[in-house]
Amino acid sequence: MTSVWRKRTISFAGSVAVFYLIYRGLFTLNLDGIGCAVASVCLLVGETHGLVLLSLHWFQIWDPVVTPPCPVIQDVSVDVFITTLDEQVELLEPTIRAAKSMHYPHETYILDDGDRKEVRDLALQHGVHYLRRESNVDYKAGNLNHALEHTQGDYVAIFDADHIAAPDFLNRTIGFFRESNVAFVQTPHCTANDDDILGWPDTPESTPLRWNADTVFHRLVQPGKARWNAVMFCGSAAVLRREALEEIGGFATETITEDMHTGLRLHARGWKSVFVNEPLVFGLAPRDMTSLRTQRSRWGRGNLAVLAHDNPITIPGLSLPQRIAYMASILSWTHGMARIPLYLAPVLMLSLDLPPVRLDQPWLGPVVVFYVATLWICQRSLHGPRFSILAMELSQLMTAWTDVRSCLLIAVGRSPSVFHTTDKNDHQSLPASPAQDFHQASLSQECPTNTWDIRLRPIFENVAAIREVLPQWILLFLSIHAFQQMIHQITHEPSVNWSFHLASGCIALIHAVLAWEVLERVTLRRRSDRCLASAIMVSSCFVVALLSLTYG
Q: At the top level of CATH, which class does the domain 78-287 belong to?
A: alpha beta
Per-residue pLDDT of the chain (552 residues; tens, 9 = 90+): 788 989 999 999 999 999 999 999 999 999 999 999 999 999 999 999 999 999 999 999 999 999 999 999 998 999 999 999 988 899 999 999 999 999 999 999 999 998 899 999 999 999 999 999 988 888 899 999 999 999 999 999 999 999 999 999 999 999 999 999 999 999 999 887 777 777 665 444 434 445 566 788 888 899 999 999 999 999 999 999 999 999 999 999 998 899 999 999 999 999 999 999 999 999 988 877 878 888 888 888 889 999 989 999 999 999 999 999 999 999 999 999 999 999 999 999 999 989 999 988 888 889 999 999 999 899 888 887 767 777 788 888 888 888 898 888 888 776 555 555 555 555 444 433 333 444 444 444 333 333 333 334 444 444 445 667 788 889 999 999 999 888 888 888 777 777 888 889 989 999 998 888 888 777 654 444 445 455 555 555 555 555 555 544
Residue-by-residue DSSP string for 17-80: HHHHHHHHHHH-B--SSHHHHHHHHHHHHHHHHHHHHHHHHHHHTSS---PPP-PPP-S--EEE
User: CB of 321 within 8 A of CB of 490?
Assistant: no
User: CB of 356 within 8 A of CB of 39?
Assistant: yes
DSSP state of 219: I
Residues with catalytic annotation? 113, 259
For the CA atoms of 199, 203, 207, 209, the dihedral, rounded to the nearest 10 degrees, stands at: 0
For 358, 464, 473, 501, 503, the CA distances from 345, given in Å and listed in that order, are 13, 29, 17, 12, 11
Dist. CA 14–CA 371, nearest whole Å:
10
Helix 3-27 × helix 364-383 angle, to 10°: 160
For 23, 95, 132, 144, 423, the CA distances from 99, given in Å and listed in that order, are 56, 6, 19, 17, 21
Helix (H, G, I), strand (E, B) or coil at 11: helix
Domain boundaries, the chain: 3-61+333-414+451-551, 78-287
- In terms of Cα–Cα distance, which of 427, 447, 433, 451 is closest to 528? 451
